[in-house]
């Protein structure tokens, strides 16, 4: 960490603190799942994930998950869920009508914290330079840690994550014999990769990873190498240009991504781990996510040409994707006026009656009124111009009152 600029270190620490919340949110999901399903236990099995996806997510239009996120839910393994997936599951999971007032109030408080955490995370993810000043760092750290403490985290333990030494664990039990064996296996895997024997390379790296008494940094290298070999094997079979979305959990690229994330989690200050995550996302045509990972890698190694090239490529492809969507009329969101006209044509509801209903919503249910105002500002209406910032404010206001639709739309918009 000593060679990494202080403002970049600050960013990494905040990013890691956000990542620390994943375990807490996974447990929160399991608690809610049990509460909402008569005591059933989420056991992280494919059976549990598959049933939940089929019976809940596939039937609920409120879920808007990427193909990778859908597969991660179907796998059942909650340790593979990112913050976006966790937020979607927590905010859209059906709630029984038998909950007590105290339980409902607790859920509303938790949902409010989720909104705040997701907002901060989005601010960091879209940070253009991946650098944070000391003043901003302390402000954001306090905001995040306050939320995590509210979820049950120990603030003393969280403060330990501020220390640079926490990135280099000295308390790991090391087996010199296993370190040497792991190095030998890694060398064999590296040579097999060079010889284009990618399946053999993966086997060697897998053996190296399973050895106990090896440092996190060494293990990160093995995961990174395995991610690279899996991607090379995929490209050998299907071509490097077949960057389609992942639709099958057996798709090699899903394991490419999981291996890369393991490397990143084990060594968060290593540029190549973030680069591997970016390459994994790029291979599955998720270039917006790839860009964020490449930007992190570049912040850690600003002169790295390999990262610069990958970042430029993903930015160009993502730019084309955005322009293509913008030109496709089928993908354009409808204004409120267009929605009301469709209701008139399809259901015979007059515009005057629809407008009257709109005006009454806020009086009857202020929170629902905030959601409606959010939609109006997001898409534009006769009495307000399109304004995403105003839309986000209304969705946030509704979400702070425990409104699931407000929470979802805020997460989607930001």
Tokens of 204: 């060697």
d(CA 50, CA 280) in angstroms, rounded, equals 24
Which of 281, 223, 294 lies closest to 68, judged by CA?
281
End-to-end CA distance of the chain: 31
Count other Cβ atoms within 10 Å, centred on residue 336.
21
Q: Which residues pair with residue 384 across a beta bridge?
A: 381
pLDDT attached to residue 380: 77
Give the phi and the psi of residue 412 in degrees, each rounded to 5. Answer: -70, -40
d(CA 361, CA 394) in angstroms, rounded, equals 14
Give the phi and the psi of residue 381 in degrees, each rounded to 5. Answer: -150, 175
pLDDT attached to residue 108: 92
CATH no. of 176-327: 1.25.40.10
* CA dist 136 → 115, 131, 132, 141 (Å): 20, 10, 6, 8
pLDDT attached to residue 280: 96
**Which segments of the chain have a pLDDT < 70?**
1-2, 166, 169-170, 241-243, 325-362, 364, 382, 402, 404-405, 408, 411-414
Tokens of 133: 């000043």
Residues 6 or more apart in contact with residue 168 via CB below 8 angstroms: 1
- Give the model confidence (pLDDT) of 63-81 as tens digits: 888 889 999 999 999 999 9
**Segment holding 325, helix H or strand E:** helix 305-327
pLDDT attached to residue 81: 94
pLDDT attached to residue 93: 79
d(CA 395, CA 34) in angstroms, rounded, equals 28
Tokens of 326: 């913008």
Q: pTM score, two decimals? A: 0.76
pLDDT attached to residue 287: 93
d(CA 95, CA 352) in angstroms, rounded, equals 34
Residues 6 or more apart in contact with residue 234 via CB below 8 angstroms: 251, 252, 253, 256, 283
Tokens of 120: 């901060």
Residue 405's SS3 state is: helix
- Give the model confidence (pLDDT) of 165-223 as tens digits: 767 766 788 999 999 999 999 999 999 999 999 999 999 999 999 999 999 999 999 99
**Segment holding 234, helix H or strand E:** helix 216-238
Which of 120, 93, 124, 75 lies closest to 31, judged by CA?
93
Residue 96's SS3 state is: coil
Please check whether residue 412 is in contact with residue 388, taking contact to mean a CB–CB distance below 8 angstroms: no
Residues 6 or more apart in contact with residue 250 via CB below 8 angstroms: none
- Crossing angle (nearest 10°) for helices 287-300 and 271-283: 160
Q: How much is the CA Rg of the chain, to the nearest whole Å?
A: 23
Domain ranges of the chain: 6-167, 176-327, 336-413
**Segment holding 115, helix H or strand E:** helix 101-125
Tokens of 407: 């929470």
Phi-psi label, residue 402: left if phi above 0, alpha if psi -120 to 50, beta otherwise: left
């Amino acid at each position: 960490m000593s060679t990494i600029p202080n403002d970049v270190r600050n960013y990494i620490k905040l990013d890691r603190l956000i990542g620390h919340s994943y375990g807490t949110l996974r447990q929160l999901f399991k608690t809610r799942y049990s509460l909402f399903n008569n005591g059933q236990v989420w056991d992280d099995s494919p059976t549990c994930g598959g049933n939940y996806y089929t019976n809940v997510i596939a039937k609920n239009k409120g879920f808007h998950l990427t193909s990778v996120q859908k597969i991660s839910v179907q796998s059942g393994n909650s340790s593979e869920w990112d913050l976006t997936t966790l937020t979607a599951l927590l905010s859209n999971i059906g709630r029984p009508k038998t909950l007590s007032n105290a339980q409902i109030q607790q859920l509303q408080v938790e949902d409010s914290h989720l909104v705040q955490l997701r907002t901060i995370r989005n601010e960091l993810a879209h940070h253009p330079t991946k650098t944070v000043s000391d003043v901003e760092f302390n402000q954001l750290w306090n905001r995040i840690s306050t939320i995590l403490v509210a979820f049950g985290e120990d603030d003393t333990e969280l403060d330990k994550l501020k220390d640079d030494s926490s990135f280099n664990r000295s308390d790991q039990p090391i087996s010199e014999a296993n370190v040497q064996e792991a190095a030998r296996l890694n060398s064999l895997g590296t040579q097999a990769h060079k010889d284009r024997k990618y399946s053999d390379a993966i086997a060697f790296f897998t053996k190296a990873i399973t050895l106990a008494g090896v440092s996190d940094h060494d293990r990160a290298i093995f995961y990174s190498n395995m991610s690279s070999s899996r991607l090379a094997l995929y490209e050998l079979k299907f071509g490097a240009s077949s960057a389609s979305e992942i639709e099958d959990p057996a798709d090699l690229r899903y394991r490419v991504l999981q291996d890369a994330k393991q490397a990143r989690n084990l060594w968060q200050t290593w540029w190549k781990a973030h680069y591997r995550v970016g390459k994994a996302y790029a291979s599955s045509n998720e270039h917006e996510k790839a860009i964020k990972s490449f930007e992190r890698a570049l912040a850690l190694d600003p002169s790295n040409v390999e990262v610069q090239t990958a970042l430029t490529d993903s930015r160009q492809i993502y730019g084309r994707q955005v322009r293509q969507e913008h030109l496709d009329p089928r993908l354009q969101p409808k204004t409120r006026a267009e929605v009301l006209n469709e209701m008139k044509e399809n259901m015979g509801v007059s515009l005057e009656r629809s407008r009257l209903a709109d005006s009454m919503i806020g009086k009857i249910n202020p929170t629902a009124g905030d959601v409606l105002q959010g939609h109006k500002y997001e898409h534009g209406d006769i009495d307000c111009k399109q304004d995403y910032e105003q839309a986000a404010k209304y969705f946030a206001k509704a979400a702070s009152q425990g409104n699931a639709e407000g929470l979802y739309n805020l997460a989607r918009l930001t």
